[in-house]
Amino acid sequence: MRSRLQTMFLLVATVLSATAQAGEKKLNVIIITADTLRGDMLGCNGNKEVKTPALDALAAESVNFTHAYTNITTTTPSHATIFTSLYPRDHKAYSNTARISSKIRTMDEIMKAAGWHTAAIVNMPWLNPEMSNILQATEELARCKHVRKAEKTNPWVLDFLDRQGKSSKPFYLWVHYTDNHTPYHAPGKYATMYYPKGKDPRAGKSGSLQKVWKWFPVHHQNEPSFKRWLKGITDVQYVIALNKGSVSWLDLHVGKLIQRLKRDGLWDNTLLVFTADHGESLGEHKIWFSHSGLYQPTVHVPLIIHMPGGPAHKTVNSLVQLADLMPTILSRLGLKIPSHARGRDIWPLIESDAGGGAVFLEHAGRQLTGIVTPRYKYIKHLKNKSYNPGYILHKGKEELYDLQKDPGEQHDISSAKPKILKEMRAMWKRLRDRRGKDFKGASAKVDDQTEEMLRSLGYTQ
């Protein structure tokens, strides 16, 4: 039998232990955005060809949202949505030359104010704070001078993690990878991992690649770096294989990052989000090696959330959007969600996943808008202009697809199904207008020098 003194001692020890737990470090947060990574490229999302062992292992320890959508298919606008939970129509950044207003509260501002050490590594010049203004309170920043690929991004990230292992302050880190963006980065064996053995992608003077060149976005067709990248290649399937190889290459480096978190003892105290800002069209709808259009290849993105002590090997099939990330992360940390947020906390879907939902979609340059539900996709053309010769926009045109019967979106049923068209149009309007009218988020323009730099890179016309 325990003596009274022993019982007292145990009681005090238990109270002290509970107090120590309450005073433990808050959760660290890492958001990884793999620029231009399609949602259907991951093994854990059903891809049988592309090898993504690290991301599949991550999904096995996390919650995998299999029907996650971006709200816009361009880099700066999409990241602005991730870090503000606003639709582009609210933050008004519709291109990579756009800059959000300083009046808008960004994720890093909230995290810094709540006591987190804020850090980021970005790998496109338009994401630098002086341009996009989406990093308004990042204390430790690896800016983009030249685009780094994963092998040059990871050393900075791993060094950062090693230092955080010794720090008493929680950290909030955004890691931006660009390996899946053109030019697809698949070094060494990764270049031919998904290409027939022994086949020569440079055979002959012209081939399938030259046949589709005229369908490339106009800013790519004559772009020197784009031409240099594809010089001598004649087989378009080789370029598609490069994209797949770049996914496995990225997977390798995300795996190294997770290994380091585990080695440094940070894994059990870090909330990790893996997603993408948008996907990529690899020839679907005659949109080649570009993320134009609002079709599935460009709007469906991966979304895996690892919550220490949270559910593992869990799949959520309901539709979710990138605007949901900020509310979801802040809720997990016990922080207040800003009243302007368009998104919602999607964590309750783990328990109540009915496979429903709807996501509001927009396009660069306000060219298109739309909505996706589990069954249908509605697209509305807002302009006549298009920089994709294979996909011409007609102002006022509406498209409607049955994603269950026609997942490739090949048969526009807008004329055949007027009732569904009307319902989808009404739902699109409701989502568009539900919030944000009270929001005054004016965008600012980048300076002339920046605009000229972007033009030289082929990003503006």
Binding site for Zn ion (CB under 5 A): 35, 75, 277
Q: How far is the CB of 338 from Zn ion (least distance, A)?
A: 24
Angle of CA points 80, 81, 85, to nearest 5°: 125
Q: How far is the CB of 444 from Zn ion (least distance, A)?
A: 21
Closer residue to Zn ion in complex, CB, 45/75: 75
Contact 100, 92 (CB under 8 A): yes
Q: How far is the CB of 276 from Zn ion (least distance, A)?
A: 8
**Distance (Å, whole) CA 456 – CA 461:** 9
**Distance (Å, whole) CA 11 – CA 407:** 61
Closer residue to Zn ion in complex, CB, 75/298: 75
Closer residue to Zn ion in complex, CB, 292/328: 292
Cβ partners under 8 Å of residue 230, min gap 6 = 209, 239
DSSP symbol at 338: P
Token digits of residue 200: 């020569």
Q: Name the residue with the smallest CB distance to Zn ion.
A: 75
**Distance (Å, whole) CA 117 – CA 366:** 36
> What amino acid is encoded at 387 in this protein?
Y
Closer residue to Zn ion in complex, CB, 234/321: 321
> Cα–chain-centroid distance for residue 232?
32
Q: How far is the CB of 71 from Zn ion (least distance, A)?
A: 13
Q: How far is the CB of 220 from Zn ion (least distance, A)?
A: 15
User: Cα dist. 185→2, 36, 157, 182 in Å?
Assistant: 66, 12, 19, 8
Closer residue to Zn ion in complex, CB, 28/71: 71
> In the β-sheet with 300-301, what is the strand arrangement from edge to edge?
300-301, 68-69, 320-321
Closer residue to Zn ion in complex, CB, 40/264: 40
Closer residue to Zn ion in complex, CB, 251/277: 277
Q: How far is the CB of 278 from Zn ion (least distance, A)?
A: 5
Question: Residue 435: exposed, middle, or buried by beta-carbon count in 10 A (0-12, 13-18, 19+)?
Answer: middle
Helices (H), 61-114: 75-82, 88-91, 107-113
Q: How many residues are present in the chain?
A: 461
Token digits of residue 286: 């005659």
Closer residue to Zn ion in complex, CB, 33/106: 33
Closer residue to Zn ion in complex, CB, 279/343: 279
Q: How far apart are the first and last CA of the chain?
A: 83
Closer residue to Zn ion in complex, CB, 235/277: 277
Q: How far is the CB of 129 from Zn ion (least distance, A)?
A: 17
Contact 209, 239 (CB under 8 A): yes
Closer residue to Zn ion in complex, CB, 280/399: 280
Q: Which SS3 state, helix, strand or coil, does residue 5 take?
A: helix
Q: How far is the CB of 246 from Zn ion (least distance, A)?
A: 14
Q: How far is the CB of 152 from Zn ion (least distance, A)?
A: 18
Phi then psi for residue 98, to 5 deg, are -80, 160
Nearest to 79 by CA among 213, 205, 211, 174: 174
Q: How far is the CB of 73 from Zn ion (least distance, A)?
A: 8
Beta strands in 153-285 (DSSP E): 171-177, 270-275, 281-282
Nearest to 399 by CA among 433, 361, 357: 361
Q: How far is the CB of 178 from Zn ion (least distance, A)?
A: 8
Closer residue to Zn ion in complex, CB, 234/292: 292
Q: How far is the CB of 290 from Zn ion (least distance, A)?
A: 11
DSSP symbol at 72: B
Contact 267, 258 (CB under 8 A): yes
Phi then psi for residue 184, to 5 deg, are -55, 130
